[in-house]
Amino acid sequence: MTKTSFSDIRATPKLDRLTPLTENRKLRKELERTLSPERVIVHGKIPVKYRFDALRPYRPFPKLRKGGYIPTILVRPEIDAEVAGLLRVARRYHTPVVTYGGGTGLMGAAIAAHGGIMVETSRMNRIEEISGEDMMLRAEAGVVLEEAYAKLDREQLLFAHDPWTRPIATIGGAISTNSLGYLGAKYGSIGTQLLGIEAVLPNGQLLKTRPAQYSSTGFDLRRLFIGTEGLFGIVTRTVVRAFPKPEAKKLVSYGFSDFEKAHRAITLMRRYDVRPSMVDYGEEPGSKEESHLNLVFDGLEKEVLAQAEQAERAISECGGSKLDDVEAREFWEHRHDIALMHSRRISNAAPEKEPRTKYDYIHVSLPASKILAFRTALLRLSREGGVNVLEVGLWQGPELLSLVLSSRASNPKMATRKLWRTSNSIIRYAQDLGGAMEFCHGVGMKLAHLMEREHGVGLEVMRQLKRTLDPLGIMNPGKESL
């Protein structure tokens, strides 16, 4: 397998960076007229947390600046008319624009790589309508997922998008990466739950799609904004599907002696038409401890019991052993803890020091039949690269594989180099097997250099769409190679 060198990273487009605000007061004044002076924050007063998203110095991205990327101006619009106005200003000044939601993205999509205007959506946080008859939620893009969940829960409905970032991530941010949550095995990604969208295009026009469940009237324009990380405009309002609040929920946990048995069990559950709401399996390669599979079932009480019984049948056939349900309950109760840790980290008053130990997270989607061969290959590639494999997991099905890697060296640059090259080799191998290189976190800066390999001529189709809607290239430049 050919190793990736630093020169393989596609250079980001060269845009003229904004001059300091002392020399560019016209832009600032126009933005203050469009919003209000107190919601336009200039370079020296922008909080440190906006220098990064979750692509931070502990990750192996060799072009990441240690001190982060400081926006020239941070703006906080409250209504879509203000978003439209600030985009018209940005267009006149040829100024880069990046949108910032909760700052939990792992790939650098919310980093102001070229300075410019950062649009924070925290004030666009109104839940405008909940309809039990239509089974939907209408909300602005800055609504935090936790609030959406709580509001629907009080109406005896379920907001089914439940990622680890639920306490701090926003609906708009989740859509921008097509996020997949803990309930994704049954309810799908946020993109599959999205009924309608309103977004401001780079020229300031407001695009609205009809929140119809099914449509055969041309191109699905929602797809311009699902998983595209703000490259085609800024999402301002959403209509998201609501589900019935489950009558019952059951959490169960099983142990396995090896990965192959667990994979067979998860595959067999599907053959038996078992549909858990959550499938979460993880192993620590080389550990003598058994690996654990946690399942969640929800729905009608009789349905839940029948599904759990059928799952146990499939798991027993594959050598799995029932564990105390406390294992699954503990996992479920603490599934959002890492989000709170991230929230504390990004609130630090100073940039983080570059650590000697680097971590990387890989999430690939492969045909289920290719997973076992891929696991064997990734363990080999990790050994050859001198990188530790901390965990190999399956998420929501037998074809979605997650991987946690680490590398430590006395020189942080050496740890970055080893981990970067190994991660790229593993991802390229997944692509060679016909897989997708990411299924829940987007592309951002970190995976942009692999987009041409992923899509081939399809990437040029995307670029033509981008040039049509954003001819000046002001929307989130340097991301996804568009």
The CATH number linked to 115 is: 3.30.43.10
CB distance 211 to 196 below 8 Å: yes
CB distance 209 to 160 below 8 Å: no
Mark whether 198 and 279 lie in a shared domain. Answer: no
Q: What pLDDT is attached to residue 189?
A: 98
Compute the distance between CA of residue 115 and CA of residue 77 in angstroms, rounded to an integer: 18
Q: What pLDDT is attached to residue 347?
A: 61
pLDDT for 288 beyond 50: yes
Mark whether 240 and 270 lie in a shared domain. Answer: no
State which of 337, 352, 372 marks the end of a domain: 337
Structural domain includes residue 225: yes
CB distance 157 to 133 below 8 Å: no
pLDDT for 345 beyond 90: no
Q: For residue 132, what is the DSSP state?
A: T
Q: What pLDDT is attached to residue 7?
A: 34
- Token pair for residue 218? 């041309």
Instruction: Label residue 18 by pLDDT band (50, 70, 90).
Output: very low
State which of 191, 219, 244 marks the end of a domain: 244
- Which among 444, 410, 446 has a CA at the least distance from the CA of 63? 446
**What integer best gives the mean pLDDT of the chain?**
92
pLDDT for 17 beyond 70: no
pLDDT for 99 beyond 80: yes
Mark whether 47 and 61 lie in a shared domain. Answer: yes
Structural domain includes residue 425: no
Burial class of residue 257 in the structure, from the number of CB atoms within 10 Å of its CB (0-12 exposed, 13-18 middle, 19+ buried)? middle
CB distance 153 to 107 below 8 Å: no
pLDDT for 9 beyond 60: no
CATH number of the domain where residue 152 is located: 3.30.465.10
Q: What pLDDT is attached to residue 8?
A: 37
pLDDT for 318 beyond 90: yes
pLDDT for 412 beyond 70: yes
The residues facing 218 across adjacent strands are: none
Mark whether 221 and 293 lie in a shared domain. Answer: no
CATH number of the domain where residue 285 is located: 3.30.70.3450
**Count of domains in the chain?**
3
Mark whether 160 and 192 lie in a shared domain. Answer: yes
What SS3 state is found at 384?
helix
The residues facing 139 across adjacent strands are: 127, 238
Mark whether 79 and 113 lie in a shared domain. Answer: yes
Structural domain includes residue 83: yes
Structural domain includes residue 401: no
Mark whether 22 and 110 lie in a shared domain. Answer: yes
Mark whether 211 and 151 lie in a shared domain. Answer: yes
Mean pLDDT over residues 422-431, rounded?
98
How many Cβ atoms from other residues are within 10 Å of residue 415's Cβ?
24
Residue recorded with tokens 């060198």: 5
CB distance 192 to 204 below 8 Å: no
Structural domain includes residue 213: yes
How many Cβ atoms from other residues are within 10 Å of residue 220's Cβ?
11
CB distance 374 to 413 below 8 Å: no
- CA 420 distance to own-chain centroid: 20
Percent of the chain topping pLDDT 70: 93
Mean pLDDT over residues 107-134, rounded?
97
Structural domain includes residue 361: no
Mark whether 161 and 185 lie in a shared domain. Answer: yes
Mark whether 99 and 138 lie in a shared domain. Answer: no
Q: For residue 352, what is the DSSP state?
A: P
State which of 197, 226, 244 marks the end of a domain: 244
Structural domain includes residue 455: no
Summarised one tens digit per residue, pLDDT across range 139-188 is 999 999 999 999 999 999 999 999 999 999 999 999 999 999 999 999 99
Mark whether 116 and 135 lie in a shared domain. Answer: no
Compute the distance between CA of residue 54 and CA of residue 71 in angstroms, rounded to an integer: 16
Structural domain includes residue 386: no
Domain span at residue 220?
Answer: 127-244
Compute the distance between CA of residue 423 and CA of residue 5 in angstroms, rounded to an integer: 12
pLDDT for 325 beyond 50: yes
Mark whether 101 and 145 lie in a shared domain. Answer: no
pLDDT for 23 beyond 60: no
